[in-house]
Structure formats: C-alpha cells, structure tokens
Amino acid sequence: MARRGLKFAGVVLLGPPASGKGTQGRLLAERGELCYFSTGQELRREVERGTEFGMRTARYLSQNRYVPDEMALELAMSWLADAGSGWVIDGFPRTRTQALELDDSLGDVAHRLRTVFLDVPLDEILRRAAGRWECGRCPWVGPSDELGACPCCGGALVRRGDDDPPSVRKRVAVYEDLTLPVVEFYAESSRLVHVSGVGSAEEVFKRVLIGLEYDDEIHG
C-alpha cells in the first residue's frame, strides 16, 4: 500500500501557523513519492481563480477565519477521493468534527493514519511569518524571495496577506481553540507523533522521519 518506506495510509500535519507544515509536507511527499495537499494554499487559489467555491471562501479568508467544517470537508474529501493510498495533507482536519469525518471516510484503515504535530513557540512563529514567502503555482514555501522565483517550478513568489504580527497572533489563538483538541484526539488513539519544529528544515525532517519510523535510510 504505502510507498518508499511509509507504513501508513496517510499522514496529517498539524501545528500552529508558520510551524513548517508546508515545508515538511513537501519534503515528506518527495521522499515517499506521495500525493501532497495544502488546504490553505488550495483555498487561496480557489479565491484567486474566482470559482464558485472560492467566492464562498473569500469572506472567511479576508477575516483570517477558518472556513466552516462543511466547506473544509468538501475541499479535502474531494481531493482525498482521487489521491488513492499514500498521501500527506496539511491544514486538515482543523476541528474534531473534521477528524471524525476523516476517520469515517477511511473506514477500516483509519487506525493506520498518523498525525505529525509540529510544536513551535510563539516567538519563533512570529519570526518565521515575517520572512515567509510561498509559490503561487506549487506547494513550495520558503523563508525569502532572494531567488526571485520558485526553486521548484519557477513560479512567482508571493507574501501571504495574513502574515503580519496581529493576524498571526489571531490565527494562533484560533488554532489553540479549535485545533489543539484535534491533537488531543489523535493522541488518545495513539496516532500522534509529537515533533519539535524548531531548527532547520532538515533537522526537523529527520525528527519527522524518526517519529514515523520511516524504514528507509534516514540519513540517506
């Protein structure tokens, strides 16, 4: 079922804003040749494309609010239906309701889901957000635009409009209210891997691989 040493049906990445979910998701997907999906990036792209779904999403994003459960489920479940086995997703589930729905959709393989929680303190979150850029075309996220273009696909790099300190603090508060119960939910069912998200991307990634008991050569 799993590819390139990954033993699980799928991996969910959880953590506060700017904790490195996008970076670690991309690295894990590349290492295991897995499908990768960022709900946050896809929501923003739906808005930019002017789709009907994007129009419904826009008012929530403009207020730095999470979209309602039914909208998040519509987006994520549609993608998961086509992803097959072996995937990495960040930004979903954000609430306990979404986590329960994901388990229901996975059925008999729900116990093979693993969640990586990237733990990063607030001062580091604010520092990262201040210098964060992302590609408008692919999932790449990085600390600066010094390259002038995305190193993965050549697309234009853009700043997120909600990476200013007040917006980040607000998003962290919402995350603590809504998403920390999701972390507890997966911990209760022994499906949580707790990883310190402090350090270089490579250092954090080694911790992620160790936590997931990835059976490929970790230092290769």
Q: State residue 167's pLDDT score.
A: 85
What is the average pLDDT value for the chain, to the nearest integer?
86
In this predicted structure, what is the pLDDT of residue 137?
Answer: 78
Largest CA distance in the chain: 46
Would 216 be classed as within a structural domain?
Answer: no
Q: Is residue 156 a contact partner of residue 180, using CB atoms and an 8 Å limit?
A: no
Q: What tokens does 113 get? A: 């889901």
Using 50, 70 and 90 to split pLDDT, how confident is the model at 4?
very low
Q: What is the pLDDT of residues 30-78, one digit of tens each?
A: 998 889 999 988 998 899 899 999 999 998 888 878 899 999 999 999 9
Residue 154 lies in a domain: yes
Percent of the chain scoring above 70 in pLDDT: 91
Q: Does 47 map to a domain?
A: yes
Asked whether residue 83 is assigned to any structural domain, the reply reads: yes
Whether 146 is in a domain gets the answer yes
Residue 80's CATH number = 3.40.50.300
118-149 pLDDT tens trace: 999 999 988 888 777 888 778 777 776 566 78
3-state secondary structure of 131: coil
Spell out the residues 6+ positions from residue 4 whose beta carbon is closer than 8 angstroms to its own.
31, 32, 33, 34, 216
**Structural domain of 33:** 10-211
Tell me if 20 sits within 8 A of 28, measured CB to CB.
Answer: no
Collapsed DSSP state (helix, strand, coil) of residue 87: strand
pTM for the whole thing?
Answer: 0.80
- In this prediction, residue 219 carries a pLDDT of 35
Euclidean distance between the first and the last CA atom of the chain, given in angstroms as a whole number: 23
Other CB atoms closer than 10 Å to residue 104's CB: what's the count? 9
Does 93 score more than 60 pLDDT?
A: yes
**Residue 158 falls within a domain, yes or no?**
yes
> Quick one: pLDDT at residue 65?
81
- Over the Cα atoms of the chain, what is R_g? 16
Q: What is the pLDDT of residues 162-213, one digit of tens each?
A: 778 888 898 888 888 888 999 999 999 999 999 999 999 999 999 999 999 8
Establish if 99 belongs to a structural domain. yes
Task: Look at residue 218 and tell me if it is in a domain.
Answer: no
6-18 pLDDT, tens digit per residue, is 566 799 999 998 8
Is residue 88's pLDDT more than 90? Answer: yes
Q: pLDDT confidence of 84, banded at 50, 70, 90? A: confident
Domain count, the chain: 1
pLDDT exceeds 50 at position 217: no
pLDDT at 6: 52
- Spatial separation of the C-alpha atoms in residues 38 and 22, rounded to whole Å: 7
Q: Give whole-number Cα distances, 118 to 24, 146, 155, in Å.
A: 9, 26, 27
